[in-house]
Amino acid sequence: MDMKHLKYFYTIAAEGQITRAAKKLHIAQPPLSQSLKNLERDIGTPLFDRNGRRMELTEAGKTLYSRCETLFQLFEETLLEVQDTGEGMKGKLNIGCVKSAFSHIPGKMKEFGKIYPDITFELREGDSASLANDLKNRRIDFAVVRLPLELDEFHHKRLPVEDYVAVLPNEWLVEGDDSTIGMDLLSALPLLLLRRTSGRGQYELILDQLKNFTPSPKVVTMCPDVDMILELVSEGVGATIVPELAYQKHNPGKVKMMKIKEDILHSESAVIWLKERYLSKSAQKFIELFDQENEMD
């Protein structure tokens, strides 16, 4: 058994078919099938149940697949660490970010690109829960997320706290000076709230506060995308409560921002990266740029 046979097995398992695996590996099907037969013979147990053209992992196959995934990740990280000992920084940074906190990223990319012109970037958008999962699966190097989030598996660097603001359609009339709104009035409006795809987040924290003023707040829409939420507000569907920076960067027009009178809603963000993983020098240097924000706060 060698790395080549393991790679062949891993690709067949990931693709679910010999045909697709052969195409991805750029080899003919017969030698790929023979490689799998030799591997099963050497191990002494079937790794797949053949269901027509579909290849389904046996229990032994699932165990080997999981170990291969860990092995290949370790190999890639070892190669990266060795490359990092050379002079200069090259390669690609994979960055994840929740859309409502993306304003933390562009200026740093511009600054970083001037210092390290041989670094390229790949960006991935998602909510905090999905980005945490992307980190665990090594799809990204680090991520900017909204808290709360379970951080036991991650190193993290907290970013300056933001206030939440209310955003209403321009034509809606409210009591007062039209620049601030109380939670009692806000909780009585039809609301559109940001909500992550899984786990407890800011949605639940905001809802808990609203219930102190109205037992059953009228939440008419939940969505993880701040652009969609603000576009709905601009069309008069409802009002929303979002971090102030998210409003400033994604303001679609035809809406008005109002400060919330009660000082009870605040948004915390953080840069997070996986503890059990080698972090490249380029990723470390980029994360250091976030220290400037905390120094300015």
Read off the pLDDT band of 87 (50, 70, 90).
low
CATH of domain 3-83: 1.10.10.10
44: left (phi over 0), alpha (psi -120 to 50) or beta: left
The structural architecture, per CATH, of the domain 87-160+269-296 is 3-Layer(aba) Sandwich (3.40)
Q: How far apart are CA 239 and CA 168, in angstroms?
A: 5
Give the pLDDT confidence of 8-60 residue by residue, as tens digits. 998 999 899 899 999 989 999 999 999 999 999 988 999 999 877 788 999 99
As a whole number, the mean pLDDT across the chain is 89
pLDDT at 81: 65
Q: Is residue 286 pLDDT above 90, yes or no?
A: yes
* Amino acid in the structure at residue 293: E
- Residue bearing the bigger pLDDT, 271 or 83: 271
CATH 3.40.190.10 domain span(s) along the chain: 87-160+269-296, 162-267
Q: How far apart are CA 220 and CA 289, in angstroms?
A: 39
Q: How far apart are CA 104 and CA 143, in angstroms?
A: 11
Q: What is the DSSP letter of 10?
A: H
CATH 1.10.10.10 domain span(s) along the chain: 3-83
Give the pLDDT confidence of 161-216 residue by residue, as tens digits. 999 999 999 999 877 667 899 999 999 999 999 998 888 888 999 999 999 999 99
Task: Centre a 10 Å sphere on the Cβ of residue 192 and count the other Cβ atoms it contains.
Answer: 23
Assigned CATH topology for domain 162-267: D-Maltodextrin-Binding Protein; domain 2 (3.40.190)
Those residues whose C-beta lies under 8 Å from the C-beta of residue 253, and which sit 6 or more positions away, are 234
Q: Distance of alpha carbon 9 from its chain centroid, rounded?
A: 29
End-to-end CA distance of the chain: 56
Give the pLDDT confidence of 97-109 residue by residue, as tens digits. 999 999 999 999 9
pLDDT at 238: 96
